[in-house]
Amino acid sequence: MATSLSLLDKIKGDRSSERWHEFLECYSPMMDRWLRAHGIPEHDREEIVQDICAVMVRRLPDFERQREGSFRKWLRLTTVNCMRDFWKRSCKQARGNAESHVEDLINGLNDRSSSVSQLWEREHDQQLLAILLARIKPEFRSNTWSAFTMVALEQMAPEKVAENLGLTTNAVFVAKSKVMKRMREEGQGLLDP
């Protein structure tokens, strides 16, 4: 999933907009979770995420999308640079293994083919999907949502889902179709088509 050009264009033009807040709500928790998963202490994570957000506020107006995924790459490299800057200015006495770990993490993020970088890509997509699903879920009845999640997300056979929910197989396909349609509509403002 790529970040929507329309969302980027809207926040580039108006940093005080609701979209900018939406953007930060989307990306700040993702960056924090990613740093936490890689062993960065909470007080360091908060400062690094704050640094990344400050860079985004300053530099996003100049960002030009080159191809699909270029914003994600830009964000990943911004994270690398903010981590590197933080670590350099940090006055920690007992770096030892922590320094080596952070350097390995920074180097992994900097290399697009590394497992660390690929993990970043997957987590980016999962975060955007989770936000999108949370937005539209309240619009659907329980059975419709269950049918969609079982078929589309859990990859259960439609016949089995129909049996479990007391629906026809056709009703399961209709439920999936309705949710997917609404997800595409909602995603227009958040994701590239």
CA distance 152 to 23: 26
Structural domain tally of the chain?
Answer: 2
Q: What is the pLDDT of residues 126-174, one digit of tens each?
A: 888 888 899 899 999 999 999 999 999 999 999 999 999 999 999 999 9
Which structure tokens are listed for 130? 């989770």
Q: Is the pLDDT of residue 94 over 50?
A: no
Name the residue range of residue 193's domain: 140-193
192 φ/ψ sector (left φ>0, alpha ψ -120 to 50, else beta): beta
Give the amino acid at 111: D
Last residue of a domain, one of 128, 155, 172: 128
| Among the ranges given (5-14, 24-33, 71-80, 95-104), the one the predictor scored with the smallest mean pLDDT | 95-104
Residue 8: both structure tokens together: 């980027």
| Residues in a beta bridge with 191 | 3
Residue 175 lies in a domain: yes
pLDDT of the residue at 137: 96
- Among 104, 128, 152, which residue terminates a domain? 128
Predicted confidence at residue 112, as pLDDT, reads 74
User: Does residue 135 fall inside a structural domain?
Assistant: no
Q: What is the pLDDT of residues 174-189, one digit of tens each?
A: 999 999 999 888 876 5
133 falls within a domain? no
144 and 123 both lie in a single domain: no
CATH number of the domain enclosing 171:
1.10.10
